[in-house]
Structure 1
């Protein structure tokens, strides 16, 4: 978990400065009908928000904890990340991920093996869920910044 905490802390420190190197227009551009970089950052805010609740509930509710998906496209659309100023999205992302970092740093080792039911006869442990959260975050940050390593 220490590696995960260190990596997330590094991203929290690095991403705002990297985003500051882009113009509002660059972050707002859409390609091939997909999300703009602002919308991808908004999606990462939604992911942090949803996963914060999950990371807490997995530890205290009936096992296995059932992961309920959310409609990512409608969340991005309804929150109008495309129309939000970039600095607000980056601030929101930063605060949410600082909070996620705080939550995951408090997970006791004995709870890391708790089971999450993903549906379709698939499951993972709480540790795997945390690892997946970081992997998902890194995947989208690489999309945004177009680099293989952040």
Structure 2
């Protein structure tokens, strides 16, 4: 898990520094009416952190396998209205949520990393897999969509 913690730590300092170099037009521009702007992508990563904070905690004490609740990512981004939210507020949320993710990961006992969750269609994965998947998802959006 050290690689995940180090990776998240890197991104929570890199992202604000680099986003602040971009203009409001750059972070707000939507590639098309149905695609998210950079602000909305960053907001989506905040939503992902919110969902995963709950998952990372509940998997440790709920009946196994813990069935992951799903969420409609487009509705979350729309209802949170990230497009009209100042980028500074989204950056603060991104930082704080991911600092909390790091704290949660640091406090997971080794034996609980093997606890199981159902990610859908009765596909079982470990908590450790889910944590790595969270990080991979974050990095995908940052590298392929925000800082491409």
1:133 matched residue in structure 2: 134
1:59-88 residue CA offsets vs partner (Å, 9 max, x unmatched): 011000000110100010011000001111
TM-score w.r.t. length of structure 2: 0.96
* Runs of 5+ consecutive residues of structure 1 not aligned to the other structure: none
Other-structure match for 1:45:
46
In the superposition, the TM-score normalised over structure 1's length comes to 0.95
Work out the CA distance in 2 between the residues paired with 1:67 and 1:144: 27
**CA–CA distance in structure 2, aligned partners of residues 2 and 8 of structure 1:** 10
Alignment of 1:8 with 2:12, yes or no, is no
How far apart in 1 are the matches of 2:46 and 2:20? 17
> Could you say what secondary structure the match of 2:114 adopts?
coil
The offset of 1:6, in angstroms, is: 1.1
Deviation for aligned residue 1:118: 1.3
CA distance in 1 between counterparts of 2:70 and 2:97 reads 19
Match of 2:24 in 1: 24
Distance 1:25 1:133 in 2: 29
Unaligned runs of 5+ in 2: none
Look up the match of 1:124.
125
- Equivalence for 2:67: 66
1:94 aligned partner:
95
SS of the counterpart of 1:59?
A: coil
Number of residue-to-residue matches in the alignment: 146
Partner secondary structure for residue 63 of structure 2: coil
Note the aligned Cα RMSD (angstroms): 0.8
